[in-house]
Structure 1
Amino acid sequence: MAIHLAAAVLVTGYAIFLFAHVVYSRYLFIRLGRPGTDEIKTSWKKRLKHTAAQMFGHGTLLQDWRSGVMHLVIFYGFIVLQLGAIDLIVQGINTDWHLPLGGVYPAFTLSQEIVVLLVLAAVLYAAFRRYAEKLPRLKKGWGPAIVLLFIGGLMLSILFTLAAKRVWLGEAPSGYPFVSSFIASQFETFGETANGVMFYSGWWAHLLILLAFLVYVPQSKHAHILFAPVNLFIRSVSPHGRLEPVNLEDDDAETFGVSKIEQFTRNQLTDLYACVECGRCTSSCPASGTGKMLSPMHLIIHMRDHLTNKGAAITSRTPWMPAFAFSGNVANRVAAEASAMDGDKTNDTEFTLELLGETVTDQELWACTTCRNCEDQCPVANEHVSFIVDMRRYLVLTEGSLPAEAGRALMNIERQGNPWGLSRQDRARWKDGLGGGDPAPSIQDGKPFEYLFYIGSMGAYDKRCQKITRAFIRIMNRAGISFAVLDNEETNSGDTARRLGNEFLYQELARTNIGIFNKYKVRKIVTIDPHAYNTFKNEYPDFGLGPDVEVYHHSELIASWLKEGRIRPTMKLAERVTYHDSCYLGRYNGIYDAPRDILSAVPGIDLAEMERTGRNSMCCGAGGGRMWMEESEGTRVNVSRTEQALAVKPTIIGTACPYCLTMMSDGTKTLEADDRVRTMDIAEIVEAALE
């Protein structure tokens, strides 16, 4: 027994040492990043609440309820079984001992065996989902199978060890531990001695599997068990998708943006090890779903491996323990790269594949529409878009490298304040289509106003989107709203420039616009453009927009005016409408109900929801500056989204964004459905229903 105990202590100590080495190594790799700017001390309660809700409530995971329930069973199963593990392991040292639970102990053993069966069922279902049902988003191969075998082996070792112990020690059958009692009845033919050997064999199997699992976890995708709670807690509590400003006045900065893995923040690097590799991000990504190079999951995985390799060489720490068990994998690359350095620490940052161009390709970065569906689906709160925009910033600000069409759009915005390069002096030409009874007062007239109506480049220059502008003006006039417009003094919001990586141009436009708002003492802004709405509301405060300035999207105001009775749509529109959610209105700002409330208030409209709607709505393909770039890979995103809309047989595809309207209109033309299906903004639909 002394040898048995000594061996158990030594093996356990060695496993804990390996585990600690791996976890500390990855901690050091994360510390290579720069400190973040998010202040945790002032928001720890909010963070703790969010972390607890995601960890124990599985809110995001349950968006796919089948895999969510499966994970819940395994998660809570492991928590419940920890007491049973203590009970079993100590009994391997002292068979007369059990947890001091008194008369409750029999019920405890029953609960343990029920949980074991539930976890086994969950493991079998997980294997079915991955290898039989073959969900495309789930990785196959031995990696995921090893974890399932670990968990299944742990559960089976519990039952068989307890069964052998029951026969060996001559314990009477019991209705509480009913599974092990049944197995024990089958083991009786082997005799007490054989069952004693089986007990210790099972006990060692359980201990070794448990320790192997402990060592394997931080070196696999299951590192999320350790890093996901941390990642959930330290994630940004800023508005969704708000980008961190770049300090362009830093005289010590040699480059702007990110070209090396250590230039990301530590919060971002934690994302890499928190990744579950569940594939939810990639399965929801409009770029990936239409045949583009980008896969958000593989983007994270490749950067994680890059961080591990580079971190190992810089810190001279082996990231894989024990090394022999990981032969043939990335450990070999780490060793080769580290030896290539010949101990020269002056070249630490040059030892390996480049982050940009090799680990992550330009093709991947420019495919992103910044729709945030990947982030909204991620159960561990990874923020993929910030990685992509940070690397775009380097390409644009430091290397001057970007797609030609995007470069032209940025140059036009810089020169003329709009992506087409049309004259600044023609920005107010949209007024030509207004009737005499629909005034659009100029702010320069100096008359009092409540709302500044920011038109945006699409609403000002695009012939089709000008109809949205005029429709909303007629609604405001009908509702008796006091407003003004900037006419030719208006310029671009800068959202396109920022998402394309030109932070310099964005900050210049932001400060120009804020100066104009302050000049005219603007206190309320309304816009038909969700992209301008998002950047005004969530990002302009970083550059001096006062907290007393309220920003509205036109859908919010129309919905409130309908409730207040300021406008009353009485004309019946016998139309079947399906509504497409704008990413920057929905996932970025949580506005899902207002547009639907508006459509429901219009007499005669039959509202039909698409398969992907609300939080899981698919992007139209225009975000992230993609509006100004051609698609050369796979299916066009807007065509794929239009197909989803047409599947519910609408007569109108409704939108609340001029970019979305343009993309969906182009989609209906491409699919030759524009003769039977119209695309209309909610403002146009409401205006059509007003007498």
Structure 2
Amino acid sequence: MIWKIANFVLCLGAVGCGALLFGKAVSRRYAYVMLGRREGEPFRFDRRRLREWAAQLFGHKKLLKDRRSGLMHLIVFYGFIVLQFGAVDIVWKGLFDVRLPLPAYDWFVLSQEIAAAAVLVAIGYAGYRRYGEKLRRLKRGWKPSVVLLFIAGLMLSVLFVSAFDRLREEAPASALAPIASALAGAMSGIAGTWAADVLYYAFWWAHLLILLGFLVYVPQSKHFHLLTAPVNLALAGSDPPGKLRSLDLEDENAESFGVGAVETFTRKQLLDLYACVECGRCTDVCPAAGTGKALSPMHLIVKLRDHLTEKGAAITSKSAWVPEFAFPSDDRATVFRPAGTPSREGRGEWTGEGVTDIRPTMRMQKDAWRKPDASDGGEPPPRPEEASLIGDVMTAEELWACTTCRNCEDQCPVGNAHVDKIVDMRRYLVLTEGSVPSDGQRAMQQIERQGNPWGISRSDRAKWTEELDGVRVPTVRELPDFDVLLFVGSMGSYDNRTRKVTASLVKLMAHAGVRFAILGNEERNSGDTPRRMGNELLFRQCAEDNIETFRRYGVRRIVTACPHTYNTFKHEYPEFGLEAEVVHHTELLAGLVKEGRLVPAHPVRERATYHDSCYLGRYNGRYEAPRDILRAIPGLELAEMERSGANAMCCGAGGGLMWMEESAGKRINVARVEQALAVSPTVIASACPYCLTMMEDGSKLLEAEETVAAKDVAELLAAAVFGPSGREASSKEGTVR
């Protein structure tokens, strides 16, 4: 009796202590998140968001993109849910020697054994993937392994508690407790003895202490995602994917714009940091990381998280670690030292293997993110509250390596947003510090002065119309009752290669009898490039100028061949007053083909592979319209690349990188063209002027331009509609109605 009372008191003490330490760890990290800025709009949880939340959390929608990893996690996830009921039963019986009054108790025991065995198998497979397969995206070391040991120990304790319980009660073997019965049978010599009783309580306490240890460890590790990921997924914005938050540029009290300190991120952005599970899926698909650049999306989140934890502890004067005595005390900031010890991989000449390889970037990040010691020389490392976000935590090199393709976000199973954080830090560099790579600065200056990145005269914007043979292109002044505004864009107006795409599109629209007009020299840059590069002020000027022009001419429908313009007009201009339908040229052309207004009657005997534009695909979910056009062309064979659709790799031009030279690792467009060449195409099709340029340049660098051509979907459709000579286009001369 005394032993049972003592056991009960000790159990209460252990549980109370564990709960207290858990509460402290969670509350302190909660306080760090609360250092961030308050969100502008109240949270609304509607049915659509509820369905998406349930699909991600309970259906593992994104996790199952990697089927083996997803299935493993699914087993652990639901196994733990089942085993929580068993944990209550184990603790209850150890305290009171009475089973929980559950119906069909023997079947309940069977469910516990199945769940424990399944989780053990899944954890074994997790260890094999990390240390056997050695997946490039997964970290190795004691920190990633400790949770595997926790879970394995927990599962074994469940099975051994059940086995010794059967021995102490001398219960016969049962088909409804096969594993416990087998273990008990192997130790049948101690059945009914004091040894069985002692071993039962030894494993009972092991189960309880592992459970409580795991509870305390979780919020202080990457496994905090067990609590934060459901919340993070629930708080995911209802805005279109990738829509950037606007800045209040008229705030006279603002000392800076953008994010130059971790606490100036929003609270939701800071919650992202603690939701990260360090699975590496983001880095695995990142075009920058895959070609040896400094940027790794996973390390971006992890470095920001560690910095937030250190700085938050310094600001709140509350240690991040609970219990504090278990962790070394060190008030030095963990900083990024790119010029010190990072290995040469990821800088300069490409040293990876294959088409893409994240290992050089992973090694560089591992070498450079650390607590400096005396061997570093120079000035002592800053204290956490003094460490600069851009310089000591993130480097400008990393921020400017991002193509804003959002493949990282599309793969993230916990709903993290990487791109908005990068753009916010770019905004700080551009608007507050005036720091921009010289070639990027040049492009933005030219946009500001002449409305295009090359600095060509504004008065030459409509000069391309003089090169058309047989089709008159009216301006909005000449055809005031137009139905569709063709927004040509800077590439379509000035770039010699993209002008051919514009010509094909115009001929197709004219042939189909579409009443369209252009703005001519009144057209301005869409502002996408300045915005993604962080120049919110220049973007705002472009947006306001364009919207004023649209209103002046009563624009109701806009078609554009540029996915970047399409995305900006469709999702970001409405905030500034745009009220018009926005259509990508592939959507328009696919509709005209379906309606029979365009008939692709001439065979185009090519083997084509289609490269998905990030801003048309991942940003806007438009994958089928370009493919519908290609499938409608007689004689054309469509071959998909291994990375296509939602997981297509970026061409390397997004986020303003179209106007900046790659200086590290392998060129992204070369890697993408290599992926295309793997399916032996004769044509690489695209639906974006940036992508077209990058595919052509990549083909030339690989000396494949003689055998593989880069074509826009509109050019291929024009060849099918008009034939090789294009004479049919002239029949519509002057009939743009």
Superposition map of 1:514-529 within 5 A: 514-529=547-562
Matched, 1:491 2:524: yes
1:331 to partner: Cα distance: 9.2
Give the conservation status (yes or no) of the 8 Å contact 1:319–1:331: no
Q: Alpha-carbon deviations, 1:647-677, whole Å to 9, x = none?
A: 1110000000000000000000000000010
Give the match for residue 33 of structure 1: 36
Quick check: 2:21–2:216 contact (8 Å CA) kept in 1? yes
2:473 maps to 440
Q: Is the 8 A contact 1:562 1:568 kept in 2?
A: yes
1:638 alignment partner in structure 2? 669
Residue 396 in structure 1 maps to residue 430 in structure 2: yes
Are 1:414 and 2:439 matched, yes or no? no
1:191-210 → structure 2 map (5 Å cutoff): 191=191, 192-210=193-211
Give the distance between the partners of 2:231 and 2:383, measured in 1 at CA: 27
Q: Secondary structure at the match of 2:710?
A: strand
Instruction: Indicate if the aligned counterparts of 1:598 and 1:682 stay in contact, CA closer than 8 A.
Output: yes
Q: CA deviation at 1:351?
A: 2.7
1:661 aligned partner: 692
| 1:257 aligned counterpart, secondary structure | coil
How far residue 474 of structure 1 moved from its aligned partner, in angstroms, is: 0.4
Aligned 1:200-239 pairs, distance under 5 A = 200-239=201-240
CA distance in 1, matches of 2:69, 2:282: 15
Look up the match of 1:294: 295
Counterpart contact for 2:333–2:383, Cα < 8 Å = no
User: Deviations for 1:294-318, whole angstroms, at most 9, x for unmatched residues?
Assistant: 0000010000011111111111111
**Counterparts of 2:312 and 2:71, CA distance in 1:** 36
The alpha-carbon deviation at position 110 of structure 1 amounts to 1.0
How far is 1:383 from its partner? 0.5
Deviations 1:618-674 (A, max 9, x none): 000000000010111000000000100011110000000000000000000000000
Contact 2:331 2:384 in 1 (8 A): no
Counterpart residue type for residue 312 of structure 1? A
**TM-score w.r.t. structure 1 length?**
0.96
Structure 1 counterpart of 2:278: 277
Alignment equivalent of 1:674, drawn from 705, 710, 718: 705
Task: Give the Cα–Cα distance (whole angstroms) in 2 for the partners of residues 326 and 141 of structure 1.
Answer: 18
Which SS does the other structure have where 1:526 is aligned? strand
1:12 equivalent in alignment to 2:15:
yes
1:175 corresponds to: 175
1:579 aligns with 2:610: yes
Equivalent-residue separation in structure 2 for 1:190 and 1:181 (angstroms): 14
CA distance in 1 between counterparts of 2:608 and 2:134 reads: 35
> Is the counterpart of residue 359 in structure 1 residue 393 in structure 2?
yes
Q: Secondary structure of the residue that 2:393 maps to in structure 1?
A: coil
CA distance in 1, matches of 2:95, 2:333: 40
1:99 Cα offset (Å):
2.2
Cα distance in 1 between the residues matched to 2:305 and 2:102: 45
Q: Is the 8 A contact 1:261 1:355 kept in 2?
A: yes
> Which residue of structure 1 lines up, in the alignment, with residue 48 of structure 2?
46
AA aligned opposite 2:611: H
2:620 paired residue number: 589
Q: CA deviation at 1:326?
A: 2.5
Q: Deviations along 1:192-241, whole A, 9 cap, x unmatched?
A: 21111110000000000000000000000000001111111111110110
CA distance in 2, matches of 1:275, 1:438: 55
Q: SS of the residue aligned with 1:578? A: strand
Structure 1 residue runs of 5 or longer lacking an equivalent are 338-347
**Residue number in structure 2 paired with 1:340:** none
TM-score by length of 2: 0.90
Of residues 643, 648, 661, the one that matches 1:617 is 648
Partner residue in 2 for 1:507: 540
Larger deviation, residues 324-333 vs 391-400: 324-333
The 8 Å contact of residues 323 and 331 in structure 1, kept in 2 or not, is answered as no
1:333 Cα offset (Å): 6.9
Q: Are 1:543 and 2:576 an aligned pair?
A: yes
Partners in 2 of 1:458 and 1:392 — Cα distance? 24
Q: Determine if contact 2:75/2:118 at 8 Å carries over to the other structure.
A: yes
1:135 is aligned to 2:135: yes
Distance 1:332 1:630 in 2: 33
Please tell me whether the aligned partners of residues 310 and 333 of structure 2 are also in contact (alpha carbons under 8 angstroms).
no
Q: Is the 8 A contact 2:310 2:384 kept in 1?
A: no
What do residues 315-334 of structure 1 show as CA deviations (whole Å, max 9, x unaligned)?
11111111232227889979
What is the percentage of aligned positions where both structures have the same residue? 56
Does the aligned pair in 1 maintain the 2:479–2:517 contact within 8 Å? Answer: no
- Deviation at 1:447? 3.2
Name 1:98's counterpart in structure 2: 99
**Bigger shift: residues 471-480 or 170-179:** 170-179
Structure 1 residue aligned with 2:348: none
* Cα-Cα RMSD: 1.5
Whole-Å separation in 2 of the counterparts to 1:276 and 1:111:
28
- Specify the alignment match of 2:116 in structure 1: 116
Alpha-carbon distance in structure 2 between the residues aligned to 1:333 and 1:565: 63
Distance of 1:171 and 1:350 partners within structure 2 = 59
Cα displacement string for residues 510-562 of structure 1 (whole angstroms, at most 9, x for unaligned residues): 0000000000000000000000000000000111112xx10000000111111
Amino acid at match of 1:23: V
Match of 2:735 in 1: none
Conserved? CA contact 1:47–1:234, under 8 Å: no
Amino acid at match of 1:465: T
Distance 1:170 1:677 in 2: 76
Give the deviation of 1:165 after TM superposition: 1.2
Instruction: Give the aligned length.
Output: 673
Contact 2:315 2:385 in 1 (8 A): no
Name 1:684's counterpart in structure 2. Answer: 715
Secondary structure at the residue paired with 2:452?
A: coil
Runs ≥4 in structure 1, deviation > 4 angstroms? 328-334
Partner of 2:346: none
Q: How far apart are 1:350 and its partner, in Å?
A: 7.9
Q: 2:55 is matched by which residue type in structure 1?
A: A
- CA distance in structure 2 between the partners assigned to 1:564 and 1:67 by the alignment: 44
Greater displacement, 134-143 / 170-179: 170-179
Gaps spanning 5+ residues in structure 2: where?
336-370, 372-381, 723-737
User: How many Å separate the matches in 1 of 2:108 and 2:25?
Assistant: 35
1:681 is displaced (CA, Å) by 0.2
Q: How many Å separate the matches in 1 of 2:57 and 2:521?
A: 51
Question: Partner amino acid for 2:47?
Answer: K
Deviation per residue, 1:245-290 (Å, 9 max, x gap) = 1000001101111100111100100000000100000010000000
1:649 to 663, 666, 680: 680
What is the SS of the residue equivalent to 1:444? Answer: coil
Which of 81, 87, 91 does residue 85 from structure 1 map onto? 87
Q: Secondary structure at the match of 2:608?
A: strand
Q: Given the superposition, is the C-alpha separation of residues 298 and 329 from structure 1 closer, same or farther in structure 2, using an over 3 Å criterion?
A: farther
Structure 1 residue 49: deviation in Å? 2.2
CA contact (8 A) 1:576 1:608 kept: yes
User: Which residue in the other structure is 1:315 paired with?
Assistant: 316
State the distance in 2 between where 1:656 and 1:39 align. 37
Distance between the aligned counterparts of 2:422 and 2:333, measured in 1? 28
**Contact 2:307/2:334, CA 8 A, preserved across alignment:** no
Query: Does the CA contact (< 8 Å) of 1:187 and 1:195 recur in 2?
Result: no
Using the TM superposition, name which of 322-331 and 609-618 deviates more. 322-331
Contact 1:320 1:331 in 2 (8 A): no
The equivalent residue for 2:351 is: none
Give 3-state SS (helix, strand or coil) of 2:643's partner.
coil
- 8 Å Cα contact 1:47-1:232 kept in structure 2: no
Contact 1:38 1:236 in 2 (8 A): no
